[in-house]
Chain A
């Protein structure tokens, strides 16, 4: 694929459910507190994924595929939530 090829981009934000303890976030929060950031009341750590898709697909199809990927592999619904952000490919004018 040429490097200037426009593609659909889907940003996936995966976060631990609020009910799930986040050991990494808690440790970061303690570190920030000990650095003097006493106003901090919480820190949670999640994951960010960037998926790219063939520009020929419709928006609905891209979203459907991305959701399937999340439900099957990218996210564990026992402990995690996710949010999608679709970025449409820019139209290339001749």
Chain B
């Protein structure tokens, strides 16, 4: 599977994503500049974390108008996988490719720590093959990860099983104490109705190898590869 990592001015997790895909997942990967109007032939797009355009106005608000975003939209609408991580998630929200918006963390702090995630759905190829009931240990690093959506959107997300990850404690209990940022319903990651577009605040690319303290981030990408293989063979 060919991967493309979109590079915005201010992206700072682009090289982590590139490294994880190339050296750990052992898949072909290339950087794609935000000013490009064409996409190379890639199967999966990664919108990495960082601070695109200084995150002025609102996180992701200006990045969504980058030249490359028309191609990202087309790629997403054709059903191909797209994952937005942290700032990438914020960009997908601003672009309307995922529902909801981000607010400042409820304690106003920039939070940089490992969290535990409960996998809530099998809706997306990024999580379809993650072992059921496995809690993922993946770090967050954000000041604006307080996911917000209105009650109607939340019930749609639930009904369509678009909520992929929720912050939980070590017992897997989804509690307010385990919610680092105040997100509605402890939401850490969601997908679109089709399941191919995923946004998440935690950084799987930062924990792809045990030397990094956790290799749980690899689970998402392995699941994606396995989903693609089962499509080809099945």
Contact = CB atoms under 8 A, between A and B. Distances in A.
Contact of B149 (A16, A73, A74, A78): A78
Interface in B5-62: 57-58, 61-62
Which interface class (under 10, 10 to 19, 20 to 34, 35 or more) fits B?
A: 20 to 34
B146 A23 contact: yes
A69 B85 CA distance: 27
Interface residues of A, number: 12
B101 interface: yes
Interface stretch (B102-110, B117-125, B190-198): B102-110
A34 to B, nearest CB: 16
Contacts of A16: 103
A20 interface: yes
A27 interface: yes
Interface of B: 57-58, 61-62, 65, 93-94, 99-101, 103-108, 146, 148-150, 182
Interface of A: 16, 19-21, 23-24, 27, 73-74, 76, 78-79
30 contacts: A19-B150, A20-B103, A20-B148, A21-B103, A21-B106, A21-B148, A21-B182, A23-B103, A23-B105, A23-B107, A23-B108, A23-B146, A24-B108, A27-B108, A73-B57, A73-B61, A73-B65, A74-B57, A76-B58, A76-B94, A76-B101, A78-B93, A78-B99, A78-B100, A78-B101, A78-B148, A78-B150, A79-B101, A79-B103, A79-B148
